[in-house]
Amino acid sequence: MTENCILIIEDEQEIAEILQLYLQQDGFQAAHAMDGRQGLQMARRLQPALILLDIRLPGQNGIDVLQALRAEGHWPVIMLTALTDEVNTLLALRLGADDYISKPFNPAEVIARIHAVLRRSLSSPTPTARTLRLGALSIDFDMHLARACPVDGVEQELPLTLTEFRLLAHMARQPRRCFSRNELIESCMPESDALDRVVDSHLSKLRKKLQMAGCGDLIETVRGVGYRLCSD
């Protein structure tokens, strides 16, 4: 893998050129593909450190390209999405995208998110440990799915929003650790200006969904500090 090479798969030339300029200024090498077919060929040849992948590509769209990438390797992938692409964004995350950025975006934010994903990819579990089990809860990080598997019940997929899944997955990686509200905002909602009470609202809804699915009271409130996830 080329450690500092970022592959941009984007059919809008102007956007690609701006991203290339900012990447090069930050010390990265930047390669550009205009469509999905060319992007797959370049990914195989260059073995980039990370791929920026537009969802709306001519011919083979970004979802198809992401599926092909995940079938062949474990490159970190950040999706570039339009504001109206919510359904496709959720599908991309379930298929294993590492993050997404909505257009129009600030190129400097893209660079920051690239660094964040690269840091996570260096410390993430190996492919054999991408599913985590906590009590009656099973979390599939690659598919962005959480399932309730109660001993005396039927396995069911939890109807989580994107933010709820991010919060659950983040805490599940370090069970019993207490996370502050600010830390949860920075890690799970970096693109928003969420306040503490917004985190409280998301976690309240998540707690109810877990309880209704038979997973028990997994989310514990630590007064004056934040939240933690417990398996008992």
Instruction: Tell me what pLDDT residue 127 has.
Output: 44
- pLDDT tens-place string over residues 159-190: 988 888 889 988 888 878 888 888 888 777 76
Instruction: Tell me what pLDDT residue 151 has.
Output: 63
Higher pLDDT, 107 or 192: 107
pLDDT band of 48, cuts 50, 70, 90: very high
Instruction: Tell me what pLDDT residue 22 has.
Output: 95
Higher pLDDT, 125 or 138: 138
Highest mean pLDDT among 151-160, 194-203, 218-227: 218-227
CATH number for 127-229 (one of 3.10.20.340, 3.40.47.10, 3.20.20.120, 1.10.10.10): it is 1.10.10.10
| pLDDT > 60? residue 125 | no
Question: Do 5-123 and 127-229 share a fold?
Answer: no
The rounded percent of the chain whose pLDDT value lies above 70 is: 88
Contact of 78 with 97, CB cutoff 8 Å: yes
Look at 35-39, 74-78, 141-145 and tell me which has the smallest mean pLDDT: 141-145
| Across 95-113, average pLDDT | 88
Higher pLDDT, 186 or 118: 118
Instruction: Tell me what pLDDT residue 129 has.
Output: 47
Sign of CA dihedral 141, 113, 209, 228: positive
List the one residue out of 66, 52, 59 whose CA is nearest residue 9: 52
CA distance 170 to 179: 9
Q: Has domain 5-123 been given CATH number 1.10.3720.10?
A: no
Question: How many C-beta atoms surround the C-beta of residue 81 within 10 A?
Answer: 22
Amino acid at position 83, single letter: L
CA distance 191 to 148: 29
Task: Delimit the domains of the chain by residue range.
Answer: 5-123, 127-229
Q: What six digits make up the tokens of 22?
A: 């900012």
Instruction: Tell me what pLDDT residue 184 has.
Output: 86
